[in-house]
Structure 1
Amino acid sequence: MAGKKQGEETVATYGKDELIAYAGELFGVGPEAVQGALYGTDEGKRYDIEGAKALVHNFMNRKVN
């Protein structure tokens, strides 16, 4: 597991596959919702939990025309 320094703490980061696999436990949504929220982002990009939650929240609350 990779991490980045934030002040004095190390923040854990996760890949798309890990976030999709644990979608229900982490975000309370199905894996397809997380997959949709992360669609079009870089394959190698890693996310912290708070950043991923924000992406999923924005995706789930997006207005549909």
Structure 2
Amino acid sequence: MACPICNKDSVPEYRPFCSRRCADIDLGRWLRGAYVIPGQPLDDLASDMDEKNSDKGLDSRDKRP
């Protein structure tokens, strides 16, 4: 398996990376938000949920009788 950062062979100790350096580079990308799943921005989703559940309080699940 090739390292996803530099394409060298991976090392079992750092799998799927080849070294701690590449693992740290990947972690830095995650922490900066460089990896993004395409879709609607979370701000839009939060406001949609607020409108739908505004009268139900914090727990929006239906209550049992």
More helix by share: 1
| TM-score above 0.5, yes or no | no
More strand by share: 1
TM-score, normalization by structure 1:
0.28
